[in-house]
Structure 1
Amino acid sequence: MDSKLDVNATHATSDSLQYEDEPDNTINDAARINEETCSQEGAYAGYQATVRDVDECEAEPIIPPLDSHRTKADSFIIAPEVEAETALEGKDQLKPGPRSRIRKCFGTSSPHTSAWNPSFRRSGPVLGLSVLIMSICTIFVSLGILLGSHEKPQRLWTWQPTVYLAISTAVSNACLGYAFSQALPSAWWYQASKGAAVRSLQRRWEVGQSVFQAIAHIRSPDRLTLASLLTALVLIDGPLLQRASRVESLSHHELINMSIPISPELPRGFSGVQKLVEGGRMVRIWQDVIDVGEPWKAGRSIEAPGVACEGTCRGKVLAPAISLQDCTYKSRDMPAETMLNNASFSWSDLAVTGPNPAFFVLISGPGIHNGIHAEKSALGVGKVNLTYTHEEGDVMMHGGSFNLTRCILQSAVGEYDVEIQNASISISKPPRIIALANNTDYTYEHTETWQPNTFLGLVGGYVSGNVSANCSFKFGDQGWALDVQTKDSNTNAYQIMGGKIEQWRDPIPDTMNQINNLFFRAGVLAAQYSNTTDLIDNGLSVKQTMEALKEVTELCYVSNMRWWAGAAALQIFAILSILPVYWGYWRLGMAVTLSPFEVAKLFGAPMFDTINSTFGAKGVVEKMGGQIVRLEVRGKEDVGMVKL
């Protein structure tokens, strides 16, 4: 391009750039141009400059000091020859840029509407402030995630809460970074508008570019340095929020209603038939007894059709039980001196146990000889309680007593505390007797005919054989001693071991628990028969509804809000450190950036003389978007941008 360039710049209208408090003939002395080659007429409100030789004269726009006055943008008329010449260099140089309403909302300048307006009534940097608000919202989002997942089962969450926390953290950090980058230009130019050393401006620019520079300049901190450090430090809120959620095994409780099919009492004639004879009784048991007794002997779990609980369900249900009635207690002394060398000494008159029992558990059914009528049975428990006293020669002397307990067993309705896990039912403690069963005949005497047997088949066929025990003493060279040949597993289960004692625990609680467990199983089986309701007492039903406390133990998410509080506090500090950086936006009269074109224009680069400074970088691109420039060496120690 020819080095000779004539530029005629005149103001088109009376709306030219004017200061309200200055006269029109005010001239900036610092911007006077060589009077020999350049003429300047009129006030700052308009000037006309003719440049005949670029090398001889440089025309610079006169920029007034920044203050709180509102001004209007300059309007330029470009000489036709210049317009034609620049049109050859780029077709889009002088085309007006697209006007957008969004620019005004987001605080960006338009080269056709820019005006110096340092006022709080100007629309703020909406985009920068919006992302700060969004960052604040992520604090509450993370709080909602942690509260919403606290003690909630892991199976209800497709993704872990930490995934959502990571997304929230990423959004928050991105918002803070963007908000800081949007505030940086206003802070930098605001500092420049107040007057600052070049070194200070360079330091502020470096602080805004890198947290490492902020650390390097930590000895002279300011708001921009603090904002840069906290914007970088807020990245650690990600690990903090990850620690705020963990997985633990927790138990949840809720009340539910469960349908339990079980008969409250044994149906009449459930276990078979019997008849009394002179020698005792004869019993025939049904298959039902076998179906109930075999799983009981094997120790298998109790299962009821259609009954299941996901977790553990606890409640109360009515079921068949056994009741102890008319118990009698007898005790006989066994003095050591009487037992010494007395082989004929006896302490029991029961024929079934012999004269010298040590421990026994016996269940006897109805019979003429014992006065027990049908549908009743007797439980007898005997045990000695001997303690070592002294020795006489080779003989160990023991003294104590023999205790005999005798009770009548009778069918009843019991209230059981049950525990259901999945499909397995267990009895947690002995039942509470609600009432005696009235559906059995307790009155018939000796008869040659078969009569319904409601529970004796169960007791006689299975309970007696599994709980009975009979261990005896015998007299020998060392006096009375336990006959080991009569001991069995049941005897050993209740014997209290000790070198100087012969004692046994009370077997009645365990015996009753075993019988009740068997009866409970019988009630579950009886409920499956269609005629059971007709064979039990009126008012009872095999279809029971149990109110159960359901406890489910499963993996759940647990939130630790202390970690969230730390992350939230750090994020709030970062937001509060960025907000003051935006102060310069309202103190400046225009939206600014740190674009190299905008910096060059405001520092008076001759290349952009024809562009109003308030137009910013967008004005440069709007007016000179097609201009080709290049960085080239001007001398041995100088480089610069030149037009092509």
Structure 2
Amino acid sequence: MADNPSRSLLADSKTRGLPTGKRNTRKLPLLVATFTALSLACTFGTILTLVISNDDEVTRWKIRVSVYVGFFQGLYNILLGGLLSLGVAITWWRTIQHGTTLKRLHYIQASASPKDFWAGMKAGSAARKVALVAMLIFIVKLSNNPIAQRATKTRSQMVPKERGMIMHIANRIEDGWYGHQGTFEKIPVLQTTLLNTSIPTENQKNASCPDTGICEALVAAAGYNYGCTSTSEKLNLLDSKNENSSIFEMNIEMNWDFGEPIFYSTTKYISSIDGACVGTLTTDTCNLIPATIWYPITIRNDSITVDFRTLLSSQRAVVSNYTSEADKNKNRTDPTTQLGPLTGLLAAWENILRAEALLGKKGAYFPNTDPGLSTQWPDVFHAGSVSTETTIPEFAQQNCPLLWNSPRDYLLQTFLDFSFRSAYIAASDTSDSSTLQEYTAVFRETQLWYSTDYGWLAATTLVMVIGMAAAMVLIWGWWELDRYVSMSPLETGRAFGATILLSAGQEKESKGIIDEIGNERVAHDGEELVWNGTVYASGRWEGGAVPTLRGRMGDRVSGESGEGSLRGSPRELEGESPSRLSVRNVRGHRRGMSSVSNGGSGGSNTSFEHSLGASTRKWFGGPEGGGTVKQFRQRSGSGSASAMPLLPLSLTPGGGGGGGMMGPAPGGIMSMKAYNNEPPRPRSYGSESPQLPPIAPSGSLKITPMSLGGGGRRGSVGEGSGSGGSSGKRPLSSITERNSMSPKD
């Protein structure tokens, strides 16, 4: 029955009178509203941060997004913990208002910790609700920040930006710049083209690209406009009639048959072959004329490269064509004849890019070794038994593996590379400002950008909302409380009627209690609480000894009569008599109720010493044997000493003249209520309880300060003294607060 609800203990709260004492009716709703509003603000702050940062540069955020998210999540966890503690306090006080058991009250507060989860689940609906909500909030606080961090990440991407740049480059190649007939003067251009060396940028401002990215642009410069045609024919490679036929050829030449100079590039090669060794002989012919064209260039750091794939595709663009007067001169024997763009190209490459391969016997080939022909190119472009464009049948691989890759694009790329390098070097050879070209490049920089995963963002929002909703389950109903509540030991102790808090009057909130008795000095030695609220006395009254409870109980236990007799030994009350009496629960308190000093009577002066103060052990006894005896339930029909009704003494006995607990303070104990000038609450006990003799009216209670210079130990039974006597006790006022505890304290 102890665990059953006790809702019938109190009447409806609406019928009770208005409570007294100071009440803070605004703090509770203000805290609930503030914590809830700030938690919602943290949720919206997380969402807003993740939405704004999506597809944004990392460098634009002086504080990283993860820091913002972590701050909002950390603050949210703090607020959620505050809502949980507030909800636990509200649930505790609402439950005790309606009536409950001590066990459930304990687990309502204890089940907020994971270690008491299962115990709280078994301790009733209120404790179960607290345990479930606390566990859910624990999971939310543990997971919300990792989930929120998963919602944002960084990625690398090229970011295009416009950038103004300059370059010195010639739009045309002037006549005579390459030299004269028979004398080619620009060997460095030929060397850099053959060796494919990098083209350095100029040492000028805005000529180079920043190190963090690349610059892409179109630059107008001298080059060639071209057009190509292609024809093909079949050739039996095993037919002896075709021996010595040209099956691979590279040739360049000038032609003036169409009224203007044209540069021709001719390539011939076997592009495919079937299983009968019949090959397809393809001939590509390209004609070139001087022109100013758009070169797609890329500048990386201080190096320039040309995108020839665009120039060789249909996407190439021409600014304008032009004709050179030097190229029109057909006389190639006159050493004074200047070289133009086309004749200069021919002079540079005619002995390098001419080659031929002839068909041999049984599917073999051999290079033509005539003067002016290079013998290495047939081997360079020969595909052998593997081709990137087509496959060779097994019979052809064994009998006529004569297959070449097309040299056409290589020749065109070489000519365009040569012309770009020529235009670039020609501009650096002159100080003519007409070669300065200003252009706009697209600067592509590799940057870190934030990217938000909206799936994880939704999960983060859901988790945060669940946490707030769980906290509101405990907070719901807070308006039923008429004051601010907490789990402060001052408030809960006041609710349970702790004696030390009675002097706080009608104050129920911790702040009011602190205002009233907040300076009360307390100490706890592991078994008892002592404080300054009450003065304990040991010694003798003027005019004779006052029998103490210990003496009286000793007499009763030993079976001897006579009030004032001191024959009963205190140790007998502690269950250490030779007969090993069963009343071990009857213990005297040496601090508060010591027996009279030696002799027990006489004309010695009154001597009262200040003890450590009021003691919680007085109610229950302790190892030193103390205080008022603990009252146990009487056993019916038993006349033994253990069934004897014992005397319960209040720590705060009344100062009136009534009997029982509110009677005069026995043994010289000053009343707590009398000390605080509070009216006594009458309480009566059975007639079987032994009564202490009243204090003599002529006697006066005198308190003398304790001497700290006496013996180094506490006073014990029989150590009372006259005035100025010392028991070795330490006044509570000398107890100081310390950061750490030691046995000496």
Aligned residue pair count: 497
Q: Does structure 1 conserve the Cα–Cα contact (< 8 Å) formed by 2:223 and 2:290? A: yes
Q: What is the deviation of 1:439?
A: 5.2
Residue 323 in structure 1 maps to residue 225 in structure 2:
yes
Residue 307 in structure 1 maps to residue 208 in structure 2:
yes
Q: What is the deviation of 1:373?
A: 8.9
Structure 1 partner of 2:321: 436
Residue 497 in structure 1 maps to residue 384 in structure 2:
yes
Q: What is the deviation of 1:177?
A: 1.0
Residue 67 in structure 1 maps to residue 14 in structure 2:
yes
Structure 1 partner of 2:253: 364
1:586 equivalent among 479, 484, 499: 479
Structure 2 distance, partners of 1:374, 1:544, is: 33
The one-character-per-residue Cα deviations of 1:188-219 (angstroms, maximum 9, x if unpaired) are 112222222333322212224x1332343235
Structure 2 partner of 1:573: 466
Q: What is the deviation of 1:514?
A: 1.4
Structure 2 distance, partners of 1:205, 1:386, is: 89
- Identity of aligned pairs, percent? 16
Of 558-567 and 440-449, more deviation after overlay is shown by 440-449
Structure 2 partner of 1:563: 456
1:507 equivalent among 391, 398, 407: 407
User: How is 1:127-526 mapped onto 2 (pairs within 5 angstroms)?
Assistant: 127-153=31-57, 160-208=64-112, 210-218=113-121, 220-222=124-126, 223-234=129-140, 235-248=142-155, 250-261=156-167, 263=169, 265-269=171-175, 271-274=177-180, 282-286=181-185, 289-305=186-202, 306-308=207-209, 310-324=212-226, 340=240, 356-365=245-254, 376-383=262-269, 407-423=286-302, 424-427=304-307, 428-430=309-311, 431-438=316-323, 440-446=325-331, 448=334, 450-456=336-342, 458-474=344-360, 478=361, 481-483=364-366, 488-498=375-385, 499=397, 500-526=400-426
Structure 2 distance, partners of 1:332, 1:174, is: 85
The one-character-per-residue Cα deviations of 1:429-454 (angstroms, maximum 9, x if unpaired) are 22333431245444445384724323
Q: Does structure 2 conserve the Cα–Cα contact (< 8 Å) formed by 1:283 and 1:457? A: no
Structure 2 distance, partners of 1:197, 1:191, is: 9
**AA of the residue aligned to 1:633:** R
Of 145-154 and 168-177, more deviation after overlay is shown by 145-154
TM-score between both structures, scaled by the size of structure 2: 0.57
Structure 1 distance, partners of 2:503, 2:279, is: 126
Q: Does structure 2 conserve the Cα–Cα contact (< 8 Å) formed by 1:320 and 1:519? A: yes
Secondary structure in structure 1 of the residue aligned to 2:199 = coil
Q: What is the deviation of 1:171?
A: 1.9
Of 600-609 and 166-175, more deviation after overlay is shown by 600-609
TM-score between both structures, scaled by the size of structure 1: 0.66
Structure 2 distance, partners of 1:206, 1:386, is: 88
Structure 1 distance, partners of 2:296, 2:106, is: 81
Structure 1 distance, partners of 2:488, 2:433, is: 93
Q: Does structure 1 conserve the Cα–Cα contact (< 8 Å) formed by 2:223 and 2:419? A: yes
**AA of the residue aligned to 1:464:** E
Q: Does structure 2 conserve the Cα–Cα contact (< 8 Å) formed by 1:375 and 1:453? A: no
Shift in CA distance, 73/145, structure 1 to aligned 2, threshold 3 Å: same
User: How is 1:541-552 mapped onto 2 (pairs within 5 angstroms)?
Assistant: 542-546=436-440, 548=442, 550-552=443-445
Structure 1: 5+ residue stretches without partners: 1-62, 75-110, 275-281, 347-354, 391-397, 535-540
**AA of the residue aligned to 1:182:** L
Secondary structure in structure 2 of the residue aligned to 1:504 = coil
The one-character-per-residue Cα deviations of 1:149-185 (angstroms, maximum 9, x if unpaired) are 4444555666654344333322221121122223332
**AA of the residue aligned to 2:139:** L
Structure 1 distance, partners of 2:90, 2:13, is: 14
The one-character-per-residue Cα deviations of 1:562-603 (angstroms, maximum 9, x if unpaired) are 333323322221112222433443212222222223223333
Shift in CA distance, 408/153, structure 1 to aligned 2, threshold 3 Å: same
**AA of the residue aligned to 2:149:** Q
The one-character-per-residue Cα deviations of 1:346-371 (angstroms, maximum 9, x if unpaired) are 8xxxxxxxx743322122357xxx86
Structure 2: 5+ residue stretches without partners: 1-9, 386-396, 523-529, 531-614, 623-628, 631-649, 653-671, 673-731, 733-745
Q: Does structure 1 conserve the Cα–Cα contact (< 8 Å) formed by 2:327 and 2:343? A: no
Secondary structure in structure 1 of the residue aligned to 2:13 = coil
Q: Does structure 2 conserve the Cα–Cα contact (< 8 Å) formed by 1:187 and 1:581? A: yes
**AA of the residue aligned to 1:492:** D
Secondary structure in structure 1 of the residue aligned to 2:406 = coil
Q: Does structure 1 conserve the Cα–Cα contact (< 8 Å) formed by 2:159 and 2:447? A: no
Secondary structure in structure 2 of the residue aligned to 1:572 = helix
The one-character-per-residue Cα deviations of 1:509-568 (angstroms, maximum 9, x if unpaired) are 22111111121222222333545576xxxxxx64142453x4333444443333333233
Higher strand share: 1
Structure 2 distance, partners of 1:187, 1:330, is: 95
Structure 2 distance, partners of 1:641, 1:68, is: 33
Q: Does structure 2 conserve the Cα–Cα contact (< 8 Å) formed by 1:373 and 1:445? A: no
Structure 1 distance, partners of 2:230, 2:477, is: 101
Structure 2 distance, partners of 1:297, 1:193, is: 98
Structure 1 distance, partners of 2:519, 2:275, is: 122
Structure 1 distance, partners of 2:498, 2:282, is: 120
Structure 2 distance, partners of 1:73, 1:456, is: 112
Structure 1 partner of 2:737: none
Shift in CA distance, 607/332, structure 1 to aligned 2, threshold 3 Å: closer
Q: Does structure 2 conserve the Cα–Cα contact (< 8 Å) formed by 1:385 and 1:502? A: no
User: How is 1:33-52 mapped onto 2 (pairs within 5 angstroms)?
Assistant: none
Q: Does structure 2 conserve the Cα–Cα contact (< 8 Å) formed by 1:331 and 1:401? A: yes
Structure 2 distance, partners of 1:150, 1:408, is: 53
**AA of the residue aligned to 1:213:** D
Q: Does structure 2 conserve the Cα–Cα contact (< 8 Å) formed by 1:129 and 1:179? A: no
Structure 1 distance, partners of 2:274, 2:487, is: 105
Structure 2 distance, partners of 1:600, 1:458, is: 108
Shift in CA distance, 582/450, structure 1 to aligned 2, threshold 3 Å: same
Q: Does structure 2 conserve the Cα–Cα contact (< 8 Å) formed by 1:471 and 1:483? A: yes
Higher relative CO (Cα under 8 Å, sequence separation at least 6) belongs to 1
Structure 2 distance, partners of 1:149, 1:564, is: 12
Structure 2 distance, partners of 1:66, 1:556, is: 61
